[in-house]
A = this chain, B = another copy of it.
Amino acid sequence: MVTLSEENYLKAIYHLALRNDEKVSTNAIAQKMQTKASSATDMIKKLSEKGLVDYQKYKGVNLTEKGRLSAVSVIRKHRLWEVFLVDKLSFNWDEVHEVAEQLEHIKSEKLTQQLDAFLNYPTKDPHGDPIPDPSGNMPSTEKVLLAKIENHKHCICIGVKDSSAEFLQYLDKHNIALGTEITIVSKESFDESMTLKINKTPLVISKEVSHNLFVKIN
């Protein structure tokens, strides 16, 4: 039995660990959960005892397969309910999140199955995020080069094409990491340079950078 709170933590860890093997820090979890680091530590221990995460003190956590399945199941329900709200109950796409945050915790295998069928087995939620299948497979989000993103869009860094030390150090220096949110402020067509905004800080990058960074739109 996974409690509501535990489900929310698992979901947070899932979203923070963009690559599956990546370790997630206590602070990152606390921030995402809008709580204090000490509370996060308490919960991490609980999840660890239940075999939902791998945990070593001071080293961060990893979802176990059991934990990943639990997180993905919640995300599946969340996204199915979002489709329901928009398609059947004429909600706007910006009104569905907080209601889906509640509905995602309803426990009934049959409910989820029947809802999926009723909605005609959708593959994406109203925001374009993929809906995991019943056995927990998350359709992989297509990687896109930052260079392809349109002006004014938001995206999230999910990988690199050039993984040289030089490039990685450049990214570190400018606070770009896996999971960093990037906004495209403007694009120069003559040299393909771009102005980004990273955590409210502007950054001008060359085409060498934008052609070597994978992002996903969200």
Please report A residues at the B interface, Cβ cutoff 8 Å: 85, 88-91, 95, 98-99, 102-103, 106-108, 110-111, 114-115, 118
Give the distance in Å from the alpha carbon of A44 to the alpha carbon of B107 in the complex.
Answer: 28
Establish whether residues B88 and A111, one from each chain, have CB atoms under 8 Å apart when the complex forms: no
Q: B89, B102, B108: which contacts A99 (Cβ < 8 A)?
A: B108
Residues of B within 8 A of A102 (CB): 106-108
What separation, in Å, do the CA atoms of A77 and B89 have in the docked complex?
A: 15
CA A118 to CA B114, docked complex, whole Å: 17
How many whole Å from A176's CB to the nearest CB in chain B?
37
CB pair B110 A95 closer than 8 Å: yes
Distance (Å) between the CB of A14 and the closest chain B CB? 23
CA distance A176 to B174 in the complex (A): 78
> Within 8 Å CB of A88, what residues of B?
118
By a CB distance below 8 angstroms, the chain B residues around A108 are 98-99, 102
Residue of B nearest to A99 (CB): B108
* Nearest B-chain residue to A95, judged by Cβ: B110
- Known contacts A89-B115, A99-B108, A99-B110; can you find 17 more A-B pairs with CB under 8 A? A85-B111, A88-B118, A89-B111, A89-B114, A89-B118, A90-B114, A91-B110, A91-B114, A95-B110, A98-B108, A99-B106, A99-B111, A102-B106, A102-B107, A102-B108, A103-B103, A103-B106
| A97 shortest CB reach to chain B, Å | 11
| Most chain B beta-carbon neighbours within 10 Å: one of A88, A89, A98, A107 | A89
Residue from A110, A111, A114 with most neighbouring chain B CB atoms (10 Å):
A111
**Residue on B nearest A113 in the bound complex, by CB:** B89
Identify 20 residue pairs between A and B in the complex whose beta-carbon atoms are under 8 Å apart, listed by A's number.
Answer: A85-B111, A88-B118, A89-B111, A89-B114, A89-B115, A89-B118, A90-B114, A91-B110, A91-B114, A95-B110, A98-B108, A99-B106, A99-B108, A99-B110, A99-B111, A102-B106, A102-B107, A102-B108, A103-B103, A103-B106
